[in-house]
Amino acid sequence: MAHGVEDSHTPTFMSVGLYYFIAFAGAVVVLSLVQQRRRQSLLPPGPPGDPVIGHLLRMPSTDSALVFHQWSRTYGPLMHLKVLGRSMIILDTYQAAVDLLDKKGLIYSDRPKFTLYELLGWNSYLAFLRYGKQFNIHRQMHQAYLSRHKVEDFKAMQTQEARMLVRNLMESAPERYEKFVSRFATGIITQIVAGHQITSDTDSYLHMSNMIYEVMAKTGPPGSSPLDFFPLLQHFPPWFPGAKHMGVVRAWRSSIRELYEFPLRTVKQQQAAGEAMPSFILEQLEQMKEGEDMEELKAAAATMFGAGEATTWSTLCIFILAMILHPECQDKAHKEIDAVIGNLRLPEFGDRSGLPFVEGILQETLRWQPAVPLGIPHCAVEDDIYHGMLIPKGSLVFSNIKAIALDESVYSNPTSFYPERYLPKPAGKGEPNFNNVAFGFGRRICTGQYLADNSLWIAIVSILATCRITNMMDESGKIIVPESSLTDGLSSHPRDTRCIISPRSADAEALIMEANI
């Protein structure tokens, strides 16, 4: 072979490099496949999914929390689902929720990006904020005004509102009961947030709360819209498969913005006229400096409305449903109230510790049909290992509150409504109260829990002390027994609460009608 002429079989520097590169790339691919396999094998168990789309087509269209709980019976307390490449982890037991969301708050306090809620204009609602500086500001504002200590100041107002609720129920036709319960829930929030008392059906705040209920009912559990998994769908018309929630966005977005603007605008006008009542907004305005940005305050106030009304309203409607179905519980509550309070006065907060059965009714209402059955998803900010299982960074982590309520190892006969279960043994079963579950977990636990607890208790005890809730009859005189099923939304609501609410006695009626409200 002549010098300087390359043998075509001798590898050149370039081709050697190419071999090395191909070998290296191959090794990387193999290694990442091995690693992916290993990660897959570490994921919590879950039902089989489809290629690429995962469990998208298998997601339940109703009763998601219950369906997930049924699946968890096969796959265990930590279940993994995947939708369009995104991991979802469903926590089926109290222990798993506490171990992850409470004890590992640094990892599990974020929220995922909720594309649907962003499109609706709810992106700066505390409940949907990512974990960070803005979250800390909003959370601090809420906690300071709704702390266990501060909510003591609202008890007198809540008692008044509860008595007004009972008077309205006694005087109104059955088809208006739910409206008055909603007015009670909204009325408490408007007084706290804006110092505004609702006195008529045409109140602007009632109109706004109806809008929120409607939007919540039409958009399913949080984080479950196809838009959340596939944001490109926002560019498609509502008739396009998966894009139906764009119809809700288009119809309601501008009205939702009004919930941000209206409360602050009105309180500022009242403040200028020297007529503003004490409220969250007024207190914040008084602490703010001239020219300070108002957006955070608007969002924090709007969140209180959004998060506080529908949940309280739905829980009280669940109580009414439970009472229709369980007259024996009403009888026991009546006996307890008569023995402790008598029939010469109405209940007050000071009576609470003396009424353990009524307390059981409240706890059982929260447990029997939780109003927020899947909580609001948390998001893992880094990979985590729990009992040898991998929870990948970015996973949506749901605490299945409904499943925890149905845990037979904690609650005997869990589907039955049985307030005695909370009484200490031997009178009851000494089972744990549910208010440490119903309001969620960790650093994202409900900021309104103490306020809500008081609103629910005073409404429930006031109704029980003065009214009897009975079945309605149809035209043929047959008793209507409502089904105990709930809608599937950010908060769930009973589908049927048809009943008759009437005064328990002439004395009870007189007490309510003569109360100084």
Residues that bind ligand HEM (CB under 6 A): 126-127, 139, 142, 189, 303-304, 307-308, 311-312, 315, 371-372, 375-376, 378, 399, 438-441, 444-448, 451-452
Which position has the token pair 């010098």?
3
| Nearest of 72, 91, 41, 35 to residue 389 by alpha carbon | 41
How far apart are the C-alpha atoms of 117 and 237, rounded to whole Å? 17
Give min distance, CB of 146 to ligand HEM, in A.
Answer: 6
Give min distance, CB of 240 to ligand HEM, in A.
Answer: 31
| Positive or negative torsion for Cα 457, 463, 469, 472 | negative
Give min distance, CB of 506 to ligand HEM, in A.
Answer: 33
Give min distance, CB of 390 to ligand HEM, in A.
Answer: 22
- Shorter beta-carbon distance to ligand HEM: residue 135 or 180: 135
Give min distance, CB of 317 to ligand HEM, in A.
Answer: 11
- Shorter beta-carbon distance to ligand HEM: residue 308 or 503: 308
Taking CA atoms, 468 is separated from 314, 339, 373, 417, 465, in Å, by 20, 17, 28, 18, 9
- Shorter beta-carbon distance to ligand HEM: residue 125 or 177: 125
What would the two tokens of residue 232 be?
A: 């490109």
Residues 6+ apart with CB under 8 A from 225: 115, 116, 219, 245
- Shorter beta-carbon distance to ligand HEM: residue 54 or 489: 489
**Are the beta carbons of 119 and 249 closer than 8 angstroms?**
yes
Tell the burial category of 177 from Cβ atoms under 10 Å away from its Cβ (0-12, 13-18, 19+).
buried
How long, in residues, is the chain? 517
Q: Is 317 annotated as a binding residue?
A: no
**Helices 327-340/356-368 angle, 10° precision:** 150
HEC string for 478-497 = CECCCCCCECCCCCCCECCC
- Shorter beta-carbon distance to ligand HEM: residue 361 or 371: 371
Give min distance, CB of 478 to ligand HEM, in A.
Answer: 33
Give min distance, CB of 370 to ligand HEM, in A.
Answer: 7
E strand residue ranges, 49-138: 78-83, 86-91
Residues 6+ apart with CB under 8 A from 97: 91, 399, 404, 437, 441
- Shorter beta-carbon distance to ligand HEM: residue 346 or 374: 374
- Shorter beta-carbon distance to ligand HEM: residue 418 or 439: 439
Residues annotated in a binding site: 446
Binding site members for heme:
446
